[in-house]
Amino acid sequence: MFTNFLKIAWRNLINNKLFSVINIIGIMVGFSFSLLIGLIIYYESTFEYFHKDKDLIYRVVSETKSPTETFFYSGATLALKDAIINNSNFEQVGSIFMSQPNNVTVKKTEKTFNTPKYVVFAEQDYFKIFNYTFLAGNAINPLENESHVVLTEKSAKRYFPDLALNEIIGETLTYDSLEVTITGIVEDLPKRTDLVFQEFISWPTILKSRNRKLVEEKNWNLTTSDFQLFVKLTPNADLEDIQKLFDRLTRENRNNLVIENSITNSIRLQPLLDMHFNELYQIHNWQDKRANKSLLKNFGLIALFLLLLGCANFINLTTAQATQRAKEIGILKILGCSKQQLITQFMAETFLLVLVSAVISVALMDTLLIVFADFVPEGLTIDFLFHPEILICIFILIVCITLLSGFYPAFVLSKYKPVKILKNNFLVGNKKAIPRKILTVIQFGIAQVFIIGALLVNSQINFMLTKDMGFNKETTVSVYQPLIARNLNNLKSLASKIKEVEAVETLTMCFNPPASNNVFFSDFTRKTDSADITKQMRFLFGDINYLNAFDIDLIAGRERKHDTVKEVVINETALKTLGFNKPEDAINEKVILYPDTIKIVGVMKDFHQNSLHNPIEPLVLRGDWYNAKFSQFQMISMKVKPLSGGRISEVINEIENRYKEVYPNTEMKLEFMNETVKDFYGREQKISKLLKWASGLSILISCLGLLGLVIYTTNMRVKEIGIRKVVGASVLEIYMLLCKEFIILVGIAFIVASPIAYYLVNQWLNLFTYKVSLSISNFLIGGLIMILFSFVVMSITTLKRANSNPVNSLNFD
Amino acid sequence: MVEISNIEKFYKTDDIQTLALNKFSMKVKEGEFVAIMGPSGCGKTTLLNIIGLVDNADAGSYLLNGKEVSHLNERKRSKFRKQNIGFVFQSFNLIDNRTVFENVELPLIYNNVKQSERKEKVESLLKKMQIMHRRNHFPQQLSGGQQQRVAIARAVVNNPKIILADEPTGNLDSTNGNEVMDLLSDLNDNGTTIIMVTHSEHDAKYSHRIIRMLDGQKVSENMLKI
């Protein structure tokens, strides 16, 4: 029976080509989006699933809460391990410490590889927590002694492409100055993991590195995300007990600084399976894209709305076509077809249509993965589409869409009374068109919200990108000093060489450019007659050319005299925070920056230190006071003359050549300030892109639906049009007659959608401290876009009909 | 077989109520061929719809095979209809997206007849109706006469006790019309009860009895054959 239903359904699909195409496109768009988001969610949420003991493995993470801010660290204090290793809740405890070597040299070939990624110092137990497969070498204790290293197969092949894995064992690598022997080679972990490390240097070797002091000191009050502790719990471990232990340890080991500043440190266990999704804590491949729940949620919502639009199209067009199906329904009922059988027939038709849409969506998925590459995780390929879980989801989705779009029309159509149909007494009256009108309004309303949303989000992004940050971001470029060669003399040497580049106007040595994600805080105390005012301030470290290089204006006082003179320049917000009334009042005032007493010599204009999400903070510009011991300067920022496209790469080459003279074995890391600012808004730009797609596709689906409805109603009114023309109606009058009803619906949709769009965008804008004001013009433009598209779509059909010879219309009847 | 007493049927619009059948009564015996005649709007088709259980009467009684059916709900009427009644319409009312075979097969599907049995029955009937060569054609590919033959095949495939024909030759030329009337006559000769609404005196002559109607009432009844 069902095959028979499908056969008839296929014929209906072919016989009503236009309506079938409209319906298929509508459903296919929503289906494709849903499938894409489904694939992304599946991919992201199955990270680390391959580990045998995944439910018993945790990462130890930390939280530091000050009265003003909370910081989350994906690492823990180095002191923790010794305190927990003998606790019966833990089966294994294994540490790693991120190493960022500048280069690695293969002794055998004398070949040097720059900035190897994912190198860590690792403890022996790390390999017991995670089940790595040893392909060669010592699988029992490869990391027990100092100066040993275990490589993944991929790394081993990179360094020794011509050797068999067994031959690589015993070879020597030199990370910067650390010489290590290869004692083991492990299989690479499958792709869906954040444990991306490829080279594991034995833990004892860390004592030969620059991190020695940190490791030996084991400071309870110092947490770094570079040190990560993984634990495997015993099957009966008590999580509450463990948390109590952590709380006790942090409480007992607080130092005075922590107590005096009302800082609360806490340590927690983070389940391995939570690692990929929890944005509070960093993952190791920080350079790669990471799952972003809110973006996925937005993506999912858009997919849902597009699906609903497609379903609405189907419902609208199917119920509008009811009169054409009426005869068939009447005859089938007279012949004894039950309501259930009719519903099954219509559901089979819907199922087939959804199935065709689904097949097209699946076929398009490869292209969609490319088009939406910004949102798609790197390892997600078309192969995931054929995972059994995904195939089941596709089937469930097909069934859900079939029910969602097919049930109402099936119910309405199967309800018709055969006698009315036989008497030709069957007309879709105004009353019956009400659900269709409501659906059309909802459809256009959704499209309208997307359009207005896209316009407003875009204007906020433009506002953020073009807003004056308070410093020169357009012509400033920064060059980082390599970490391993961090040395003030080298930096000075580089600075003097870069000065020779003709396009460079001025340069400064500093720790950070004016706006960045790096933050350095400290307390700052102003002593007044009545009381001490102590406030937390942000600090920028820069030489005396800093203000000049970034075109930051001084509004009172002067620039500092020398990098090592203990003078500072504060910004306007700091001025207010410290209780000064006028900029001049602050000049030559003494303040305490423990342990020094220093002098404020200037007040600079406020500028934005981060994205416009955040307010301007009190800020202090200071020099490099202790450069004899350790320099705070790590980069050179320079103002360059405005350059044309080709000239820019020439200048970069010139700078790079000079860089290579100072740091011959390292790659230059260069940042354009305007790119840095742009990067602050990566997520917003993704939302904007998503909304543009959503707007375009919702316009497409809605307009296709409108086209279908207009064609249908125009055909239904052919006789009326003929008669009206015979009695003297003009083309314009006929055109308006046919369009009026739909334009009113689009107008209502605009009125309904505007406050919703206003509310949603306003909610989003609340995330920003600095935001664009919501202008009515954006709403009007959104409305006009929709009306314009509607007119174009309606004109395609109605003008042809309005222009036709009346006799054709009358004959048609 | 069909016994109708004092049937009434109203049609209401916003401000007018029309009486389509006014205390109409009639009896049809098993194996009879009855023609119902009268001007347009006199209530012929309404009567046929009520007899065919496609519509309900507003008042009166309708006994079909001795069972009162005038107040049955749609589900029960549908069951009665598919087991007892076959329909032939003036405009054939074939379903456009089904082939000749599939159109004729429909009543058997709804009566849960097995596929192999359906095939056998439909093919034998199509041969009998001389349209077997058109079994895979769609209705729009057939002439009017062929379409009506398919419609009759569909009406009789389930061996109904009554065939209700609403102006079966109204859309046909005289040659095709005569062929259709001969077919109905043959069916009647084989024991099928036929009630036919017609404007054609020529067609009415095929029946045993002619009932004439005016304004929802019976105005005369003539016996032609016994």
DSSP A429: -
In A583-640, DSSP assigns E strands to: 590-593, 596-604, 619-622, 635-640
Contact between A218 and A78 under an 8 Å Cβ cutoff? The reply is yes
- Which residues 62-91 of B are in CB contact (within 8 Å) with A? 75, 78-79, 81-83, 87, 89
* Chain A residue numbers touching B164 (CB-CB < 8 A): none
Q: Quick check: helix, strand or coil at residue A443?
A: helix
Q: What is the ipTM score, two decimals?
A: 0.79
Q: Which residues contact A429 (CB under 8 A, 6 or more apart)?
A: none
Q: By a Cβ cutoff of 8 Å, what residues of chain A touch chain B? A: 1, 4, 8, 11-12, 15, 327-328, 330-339, 341, 418-419, 422-423
**Ranges of chain A with pLDDT below 70:** 1-2, 68, 285-291, 422-432, 484-485, 645, 806-813
pLDDT at site A301: 86
Joined tokens for residue A211: 């991190």
* Chain A residue numbers touching B76 (CB-CB < 8 A): none
CA distance B226 to chain A (A): 31
Q: Which residues contact A783 (CB under 8 A, 6 or more apart)?
A: A448, A750, A754
Joined tokens for residue A73: 């660290």
pLDDT at site B33: 93
Say if strands A172-175 and A103-106 run parallel, antiparallel, or are unpaired.
antiparallel
Residues A619-651 as b or e (16 or more Cβ within 10 Å = b): bbbbbbbeeeeebbbbbbbbbbeeeeeeeeeeb
* Chain B residue numbers touching A12 (CB-CB < 8 A): 97
Among residues A515, A537, A514, which one has the least CA distance to residue A525?
Answer: A537
The model's pTM = 0.76
Mutate to test the interface with A, among B54, B102, B119 (most CBs of A within 10 A): B54
User: Rounded CA gap, A624 and A481, in Å?
Assistant: 16
CA-nearest residue to A14 within chain B is B97
The predicted-structure confidence for A672-725, as pLDDT tens digits, reads as follows: 888 888 887 877 888 888 888 888 888 888 888 888 888 878 877 877 887 787
pLDDT at site A388: 92
Joined tokens for residue A573: 């917000």
Contact between A304 and A397 under an 8 Å Cβ cutoff? The reply is no
CA distance B225 to chain A (A): 31
Strand partners, A57: A232
CA-nearest residue to B90 within chain A is A422
Counting other chains too, the contacts that A775-780 makes at CB distance below 8 Å and 24 or more residues apart are A775/A459, A778/A452, A778/A455, A778/A456, A778/A459, A779/A452, A779/A754
Residue with tokens 């819907």: A350
Strand partners, A799: none
In single-letter form, the type of residue at position A121 comes to: F
pLDDT at site A303: 86
Contact between A198 and A284 under an 8 Å Cβ cutoff? The reply is no
**Which of B82, B89, B96 faces A336 most closely, judged by CB atoms?**
B82
Residues A664-696 as b or e (16 or more Cβ within 10 Å = b): eebebeebbbbebbeebbeebbbbbbbbbbbbe
Contact between A739 and A796 under an 8 Å Cβ cutoff? The reply is no
Among residues A754, A86, A71, which one has the least CA distance to residue A450?
Answer: A754
The predicted-structure confidence for B195-210, as pLDDT tens digits, reads as follows: 999 999 999 999 999 9
Task: Calculate the average pLDDT of chain B.
Answer: 88
The predicted-structure confidence for A252-274, as pLDDT tens digits, reads as follows: 888 777 777 777 889 999 999 88
pLDDT at site A265: 85
* Chain B residue numbers touching A334 (CB-CB < 8 A): 52, 54, 81, 87
**Cα A463–chain centre separation:** 20
Element (H, E) at B108: helix B100-110
* Chain A residue numbers touching B82 (CB-CB < 8 A): 335-336
Among residues A274, A380, A403, which one has the least CA distance to residue A35?
Answer: A380
User: Rounded CA gap, A105 and A713, in Å?
Assistant: 76
pLDDT at site A813: 39
pLDDT at site A728: 75
pLDDT at site A211: 80
User: Rounded CA gap, B200 and B198, in Å?
Assistant: 5
Whether residue A328 and residue B154 make contact (CB cut-off 8 A), yes or no, is: no
Q: How would DSSP label each residue in A67-132?
A: SS-EEEESS--TTHHHHHTT-TTEEEEEEEEEE--SEEEETTTTEEEES-SSEEEE-TTHHHHTTP
Q: At what angle do helices B144-156 and B174-189 cross, to 10 degrees?
A: 10
